[in-house]
Structure 1
């Protein structure tokens, strides 16, 4: 496999304007002239006038402090410096083209539906944020999948999940808030059964447990650990 090597650009006697350098966009005019051999053909390829090509090419030469092309009876020919600059300019042109394709792809991908799963009580709290998101990305629609069950993102059951607990190793997660848990009882219950003073006291009380859909919830696991023998009344 062969590799093309670019010769180092001459620096002796150069008058490069380092304070401003040059406009990267001017390189495309240089590349067009190098490819087509004339400012007329380059202008047609770039859909600009011949004078624009000549002006931008002259400005690039001024900024670099070197002539890039010489006028020949048959058209324009690259100078020695132009020949040495050409492979570098091609790399820049390729990089810019790749960047434009990437940005275009991102812009096109910002459309469609994002399925967001979360418990129903969470929705009223995040609606203002959804409105802000929609204002920034009007082509994206957020679809709520309300469920107490932990949907499987890896299987495509939803795209984004708001949930408590640790992040799956195969998913990307970010902590966005603290989730506060507490044990509550009515005044009538406390008057009849007493008030638990310690976590250990929960084993002597009648509790309302979480159903199977919330079995993986951290609060459910905590309750099972601290009060495994508690009476689940409902």
Structure 2
């Protein structure tokens, strides 16, 4: 396995297509396909599952992703070291805004890893169920569930994540088995307060066709605790599942949503090296942490 093959692997993982990776690397998509096949043959595993949505990482692919991104970071840091850049660690205060699910269950793990590398850095995580105003400098950068369509922003896709319908095992044992969507009739649903949904990407209950919420909150953490208390079923981020023993997916083959996290910065910060370096670390480690939490590792 060599670095060139890992670069191709990373491009396919990030674009989820051979053509997208080809455009990114400026090589023919057929060549990308051959390189991936060669890498899979050499490792003796399947790295991608092809679906109508594109190329999705398998479990083995997800495991390789963390190592490939670590190698990418090492190459980047090596180049920085040789060029005389990056001699000092990141310092000062950086404020991140994020929806509370991400802020509670993902970002603390991400920041802990960054802090190990940069002990003089102070990070503030602002968890808020709304959009942040970067123009007013409420935060230095924001993690968003949708990409802004207007304004002067630097926007980068961080990673995809998934959500599933879930309930406590003890709750499910007290009711008839749910084998089809029709079996959800009669169960209470937990979700967002309808008129406080600040982004259409959060309207999960409507998307899966249930159309009603019996117990609601504008906070993911509160919703999770409602489900933990046995108030009913709800749509939960897969990366939250490891934090609640006994929480079980319901109809996982039928109901599973896919979303993405986006990193948004003000365009004027393009030349701020400290924020750029921090953003690179944030994106890399968030990808690893979300993948690890979703796989249960």
| TM-score, scaled to structure 1 | 0.41
- Structure with greater strand share of residues: 2
- Report the TM-score when normalising by structure 2: 0.33
Structure with higher Rg: it is 1
